[in-house]
Amino acid sequence: MQVQKITPFLWFDNNAEEAMNFYVSVFKNSKILSIHHSGKAGPGEDGTVMVVHFELDGVRFVGLNGGPMNTFSEAISFWVYCDTQEEIDDLWKKLTAGGGEPSKCGWLKDKFGLSWQIVPSILLELLDDKDPVKRDNVLKAVWEMEKLDMRKLQKAAGR
């Protein structure tokens, strides 16, 4: 297995395998790579899941069952580009299911507390418009939304 040089490493309390299965079910082109269990030497109870490796749409992740001392915050999030409103709607629904929480400006937390930004791939193009009024209109529209709406953003940009 070729190693990805920089890999997101996610610290879970004791549900890394559950989280991995959830994420693999949400994102297309995703797969479980491996599951490693603790041995008699620990760190967890013999036979319990210690580390999981998985891939989400070509990006590899590692998940650790490290205990409750570290939790996720909005200081780290995953930005997901979406080409269609249908994709935004689908990911939003799946990632907020089962206890996830919507936030503002395309942000949400999933049921594990991990933050995601679900954004249309055209957003940066709209924010890079040479017309500062159009850019400001797009930003104002983003600030007013929870889940981002491509049509409203394009309208705010005068398109």
Query: Could you tell me the CA-to-CA distances from 50 to 23, 26, 35, 146, 156 in Å, in that order?
Result: 18, 22, 8, 35, 48
Mean pLDDT across 67-87: 96
Residue that finishes a domain, picked among 70, 96, 114: 70
Q: Is 147 within 8 Å of 89 (Cβ atoms)?
A: yes
Question: What local confidence, expressed as pLDDT, does residue 40 receive?
Answer: 86
Q: Is 73 within 8 Å of 79 (Cβ atoms)?
A: no
10/60 same-domain check: yes
Tokens coding 12: 């879970």
Residue that finishes a domain, picked among 15, 46, 70: 70
Read off the pLDDT of residues 111-145 as tens digits, 9 standing for 90 and up. 999 999 999 999 999 999 999 999 999 999 999 99
83/107 same-domain check: yes
Structural domain boundaries enclosing 21: 1-70
Q: pTM (2 decimals)?
A: 0.92
93/55 same-domain check: no
Q: What percent of the chain has pLDDT over 90?
A: 92
Q: Give the model's confidence band at 73: pLDDT under 50 very low, under 70 low, under 90 confident, else very high.
A: very high
Read off the pLDDT of residues 27-65 as tens digits, 9 standing for 90 and up. 999 999 999 999 888 778 899 999 999 999 999 999 999
Q: What percent of the chain has pLDDT over 70?
A: 99
Question: For residues 149 and 49, what is the distance between their CA atoms, to the nearest angstrom?
Answer: 39
| Helical ranges in 56-149 per DSSP H | 85-96, 123-127, 132-144
Question: What local confidence, expressed as pLDDT, does residue 44 receive?
Answer: 80
Question: For residues 47 and 8, what is the distance between their CA atoms, to the nearest angstrom?
Answer: 25
Count of domains in the chain? 2
Q: Give the model's confidence band at 1: pLDDT under 50 very low, under 70 low, under 90 confident, else very high.
A: low
pLDDT above 80: residue 157: yes
CATH label of the domain that carries residue 135: 3.10.180.10
Q: Give the model's confidence band at 156: pLDDT under 50 very low, under 70 low, under 90 confident, else very high.
A: very high
Question: Which stretches of 9-159 are assigned E, i.e. beta strand?
Answer: 9-12, 31-37, 49-56, 59-65, 77-82, 101-102, 107-109, 115-120
Between 154 and 3, whose confidence is greater?
154
76/62 same-domain check: no
Question: What local confidence, expressed as pLDDT, does residue 43 receive?
Answer: 79
Residue that finishes a domain, picked among 70, 105, 131: 70
58/80 same-domain check: no
